[in-house]
Structure 1
């Protein structure tokens, strides 16, 4: 019973991740590949056939495999993510958000950007 419930939860996470990844294809600012990475990871725990389908997919398989094998991120994705974080930080700074939020969120995004640029290029 517990094993079946765990498998269903892994599958639900995989399906939700794929759905968010698909939305990210058409919605600027919502990344696709991180959600597909999450879907493949969740699939490896509860839906091996889905994981294999994602890995074999002609469009989505290569970035997933590059991430798994080398932790690599395409340079274009790094630039796009950095640009989106910069725009988001600028909008936040121009907003009426509390000062601690205006400081903490861009600082966190800067940490994410630094980590991202340290990843190997795909």
Structure 2
């Protein structure tokens, strides 16, 4: 019972971070939503099915769970939104250099992860 509660709370927290990540470029949505799907698969069949059938996240989770795939369209949207949303602050706001470097390293790490995943089940 304690394990299920842990997985449920961790899944809810992860889903919250994923939703926030839709609006903040430093919090990538995809990994958090995938993590919440995993947590819900360990704790709540109902929430796991809800995510799988979700209009926005459902196909993303199904592709990942079945094939380890992130579709090219999703990769392009993620890349564009991250680059667009961090470009202005990095180039035009007076931010300490170590913060800028941290942001750049984070964004590059996420982009490397995303673009090294297969784009279709055929690539797997």
Structure ranking higher on relative contact order (CA contacts 8 Å, 6+ apart): 2
Contact 2:28/2:110, CA 8 A, preserved across alignment: no
Q: Distance in 1 between matches of 2:16 and 2:112?
A: 28
1:62 and 2:62 matched: no
Which residues in structure 2 correspond to 1:1-122 (within 5 Å)? 4-19=1-16, 21=18, 27=23, 33-55=30-52, 57=53, 59=55, 60-87=57-84, 88-122=86-120
Would you say how many aligned residue pairs link Structure 1 and Structure 2? Answer: 117
- Offset, 1:24: 6.5
Contact 2:63/2:69, CA 8 A, preserved across alignment: yes
Q: Distance in 2 between matches of 1:32 and 1:110?
A: 15
TM-score (norm 2): 0.70
Cα distance 1:17–1:102, how it changes in 2: closer, same or farther (>3 A)? Answer: closer
Cα distance 1:104–1:33, how it changes in 2: closer, same or farther (>3 A)? Answer: closer
- Following TM superposition, the consecutive aligned residue runs of length 4 or more in structure 1 with deviations greater than 2 angstroms are 13-25, 27-36, 52-55, 58-62
Contact 1:93/1:102, CA 8 A, preserved across alignment: no
Q: Distance in 2 between matches of 1:111 and 1:24?
A: 16
Q: Distance in 2 between matches of 1:104 and 1:65?
A: 32
Flag structure 2 segments of 5+ consecutive residues without an equivalent.
none
Flag structure 1 segments of 5+ consecutive residues without an equivalent.
none
